[in-house]
Structure 1
Amino acid sequence: MTIISSALPPSPRTAPKALWSSQVLLGPSKALCLLLLLSGQALADWEQQSQDKGVSLWTRQAEAGLVEVRAQCEVVTRLSAFVAIMEDMAAMPDWVAYSSGVERLAKPSSQEDVIHSRFDLPWPARNRDMVTLSRWSQDSDFTLHLKLEDQGQAYPKTKGYVRMEKVEGEWILSPQGGGLVQIRYQGLADPAGWLPHWLVNQIAVKSTAKTLGRLCHRIQGLRYQDSRYPFVTEPPATRTRSEEVKS
């Protein structure tokens, strides 16, 4: 699942390779200063658009006049609850802005899904749809990723919908300690067809803020908190909601 027209800021971890490839070997202090400067320049590309009800949202310019959207919130939750929400496709129209339906087209592996998502957009925009490959992964520090890749070219178009193109996005859940988790979404998509850029960007910002706000409220529900998945490892001392109630 991705959000209409909404690739993370370059990580400073990638910078040292460029630093040491220079013909002049930099000392530790100079290398650190240059690393911080490069990191600051990357973050400066983002412009904060809103901060409301616990959801912060930024945008930056992308190709063809579109904007890339990044939004995040923090909530006390188990990581598996997020997987459970994504698996509950029938309920996605209840919290994903403009969603009119989501279905699984294929399941290449236990951690991959091909998903067809439909969106009923406000006039004068025509309705859109997209097909994406969703892939789960987890880092050694328990950070959970859900990466989205465009698969629209591989499936027939749907009558009454304009097929979105060049869809890319990622959900990142980063444990902060004490059960607190930062949920971040970032992505970009070409809506295709004819739409003025100002309208596309307006829809992108509003839909992302609404979706993330609803998600952070919904994920705390008991029906999701008790879920478990073999490919998700919870941080130490993390308990299900039922275990918390019993204690």
Structure 2
Amino acid sequence: MIFPLNYSKKGLAILISRSFLLVLIPMATFGQKNWEISKKKDGIEVYTKDAPGWPIKAYLARGMIEKPFADVVKYMYAIDRRKEWVADCTVSDVINKKGNEEFIVHFVIDTPWPTQDRDMVVKIIVDKTTEKDAVFFRFISMPNYIPKKEEYIRIQKAIGYWKVRKVNETRTEISSEGKSTTGGDIPTWVSNLFVTDNPFQSIKNIREILEAPESE
């Protein structure tokens, strides 16, 4: 991509961020076409579908939280606390940020034996403009942002979002859509964790944390 030479550094940064969002926004318009239900339990639904060019299926998960919209958004902004609720996540370190709208985050995912733990680096951009009464936390992988470590297998490609949508004054819907590589060959039962069980458990974890009495 070629940029005009008369852009200031600040203007160029804004333009790059907007271009990044243009890459991610189409994921919010997939609708329900070709999605198949993979799991439905405890008020949480997980759908999957084939993702041409990707080694495992894409996923779409959603559930309701009995908590005001602003409270859920505030918690989702606590990027470094994602290890509290992202399924099997042991590390969620913010390694760079721009204001409160753009974050570079290093995640480590504990995967079951005999597979090796995975890690990934993603850019998260907060999008408040695509849809009324909704905030998207869009992510895309940046696999070369920091050096790899021998104890982890780096996930090279991932793209998707977490979405918080206001339903009414006391109820909020949270959803996630995404697709990724796995960092190498893994058994089918492990890949199913990535696309079905992990999104399900992540939403369940968020709900349990936010609906707990001590979170009031």
Q: 1:119 to 1:84 in 2, by over 3 A?
A: same
Match of 2:116 in 1: 126
Q: Normalising by structure 1, report the TM-score.
A: 0.68
Q: Specify the code of the residue in structure 2 equivalent to 1:134.
A: I
Match of 2:36 in 1: 47
Map Cα deviations across residues 178-231 of structure 1 (whole Å, 9 max, x no partner). 32211111111111222244531344311111111111121234676xxxxxxx
Match of 2:158 in 1: 167
SS in structure 1 opposite 2:71?
A: helix
Q: CA deviation at 1:92?
A: 3.5
Instruction: State the percentage of identical aligned residues.
Output: 19
Distance 1:102 1:86 in 2: 13
Distance 1:202 1:120 in 2: 11
Distance 1:165 1:145 in 2: 22
Q: Normalising by structure 2, report the TM-score.
A: 0.77
Q: CA deviation at 1:85?
A: 2.8
Uncovered stretches (5+) of structure 2, i.e. residues with no partner? 1-26
SS in structure 2 opposite 1:219?
A: helix
Give the alignment's Cα RMSD to 1 decimal: 2.2
- Are 1:181 and 2:201 matched, yes or no? no
1:107 to 97, 120, 124: 97
Alignment of 1:17-166 (within 5 A): 43-62=32-51, 63-88=53-78, 91-139=81-129, 141-166=132-157
Q: CA deviation at 1:124?
A: 2.1
Q: Specify the code of the residue in structure 2 equivalent to 1:178.
A: E
Uncovered stretches (5+) of structure 1, i.e. residues with no partner? 1-6, 12-42, 225-240, 242-247
Number of residues of Structure 1 aligned to a counterpart in Structure 2: 188
Distance 1:146 1:180 in 2: 19
Match of 1:207 in 2: 198
> Which structure would you say has the larger Rg?
1
Assess if the C-alpha contact under 8 Å between 2:68 and 2:169 holds in 1: no
Map Cα deviations across residues 47-106 of structure 1 (whole Å, 9 max, x no partner). 001111110110001134411111000122233333443454565434221111111100
